[in-house]
Structure 1
């Protein structure tokens, strides 16, 4: 599997990454999925301290420990669980980040994190303080690089201007093309985008029609329009899964597509789609059949 450089760092990530949130808690099931990902050439694994109150990090750390020197391990911080309830509050303060990194390191069974990401962000945060925290962790060798996971343009622009982030995680797919407004600017700034939701909850796989009938609507697409659009995309290329992946990867700003899987067969399907040829003309046609859109909120 091909790799791309994360921003201007020296980190090389596989063009298909693995989103660990969907891992089952049963150890043997999860082991089989991780083994399938590693054997397919995936080296980029993304989790967060938010997922299952840290238990996802514990599972990922245990399963990836034998492969630690050969994988890029990414996690996120900023969502603070109430230990006595299901309540989560936002906390992007420097003391909290400096504290929480040690909990993530312990759960992940590692002494450094390759990519530590702010799991959200608001324009009302003390952004300078947050950046200070990440820079301190980088200086201390506890993280190699840092980034943010956000779809808020005003937050993204602040971090592009003020920080040394290497990556921005954004939802991006043929059915949610809003990031395209900013991709060129992000690339020119020497940063990369890692995507989530690039298969649009399975709508952009070969099961797309069946899923659309259950979903009803998605993003800017109402029920009938969604089904019509998916049918049109399937007419462009017989493998919608492949068309979806390559339409995202054609963008130079994209470093990796972070895709989830709840079984080894789903990993295999994604890798097979990734290895399927899609022409530039087919991608161009797919883009002409879908909406670009733009973010309506958090612009100022």
Structure 2
């Protein structure tokens, strides 16, 4: 696996999102999750992404236990800000400085590490100036508890304000053929101007772009059942886009998921865009191997033009979340 730069941080050109191993995407399998993590490292997918809220807390513990003895093989990213209680209840978005310090210490303990490579503000707290939150992140860098700081689903203006306090290494937001907002809301141009990398989560459209997903087969606990893009007329419309992408993938002799991932990877540094690193999430070895192979798919200008025609920016129906109020603050 090649590497890419997120600011001054070097990471594998493709990462692994670990959220679904613990929550939100149906029942997990601890043993398979551990195998998937080890296989990722063996394939050179060494940029691992988690958050304290996943589980809650259990995903960080999973990584901590699985990575024991392999810490030096990994660039480890986690997040704070979506506060949850041990019983799973959501307590709100918290960006207060004292909470940032407390959350970091707890994550370090669960992960079993001395330092976090990349620590994200998961969502922006509308009730706390971002300068206060990022002052705490600067203190964590100075204390040697984190190496780099990032921010997720923030507006261009907020990114600039945070960066003025402590350099932003990476912005993480949803980005795929189905979700191209960062191209249009000045987030990409801001990242390019400031030398900030971009981490693309859900680069396969939460599985929809794989062409294999049947919403009717999703478990009752799978949050996608409650997502506007996966419901009713919006789903019918979006599946038409998926069929177009799948036809192009068949013509190239790759899977639809690989083509969607290759498109995200090909966008990196192109047309003035920042360095882009996708972190497809999976909890199974076979999908990890399929995703990793997408790094070897090289798209031509004609391929990119055909994909733009098949799934144009803004063509996807439905919001990304049932509640979008915390997105783009």
SS at match of 1:250: helix
Q: Report matched runs for 1:231-270 at 5 Å.
A: 231-238=243-250, 239=254, 240-251=256-267, 252=269, 253-270=274-291
Residue 194 of structure 1 is matched in structure 2 by: 199
Give the TM-score taking structure 2 as reference length: 0.81
Residue 4 of structure 1 is matched in structure 2 by: 4
Give the TM-score taking structure 1 as reference length: 0.89
**Alpha-carbon spacing, 1:186–1:136, altered in 2? closer, same or farther (3 Å):** same
Q: Where has structure 1 moved over 6 Å in runs of 4 or more?
A: 212-217, 294-300
Contact 2:14–2:279 (8 Å) recurs in 1? yes
SS at match of 2:120: strand
Residue 144 of structure 1 is matched in structure 2 by: 147
Match of 2:162 among 159, 162, 185: 159
**CA–CA separation in structure 2 for the residues paired with 1:213 and 1:237:** 24
**Quick check: 1:282 aligned with 2:303?**
yes
**Alpha-carbon spacing, 1:255–1:132, altered in 2? closer, same or farther (3 Å):** same
Q: Report matched runs for 1:96-175 at 5 Å.
A: 96-160=99-163, 162-175=165-178
**CA–CA separation in structure 1 for the residues paired with 2:78 and 2:328:** 26
Contact 1:206–1:241 (8 Å) recurs in 2? yes
Contact 2:131–2:162 (8 Å) recurs in 1? no
**Quick check: 1:218 aligned with 2:229?**
yes
Residue 313 of structure 2 is matched in structure 1 by: 292
Contact 1:14–1:44 (8 Å) recurs in 2? yes
**CA–CA separation in structure 2 for the residues paired with 1:147 and 1:156:** 9
Offset from partner CA, 1:175-221 (integer Å, 9 cap, x none): 1111112313311210011011111121112426x569987962898
1:224 shift after superposition: 3.4
Structure 1, unpaired ranges of 5+: none
**CA–CA separation in structure 1 for the residues paired with 2:47 and 2:87:** 33
The number of residue pairs the alignment matches comes to: 297
RMSD: 2.8
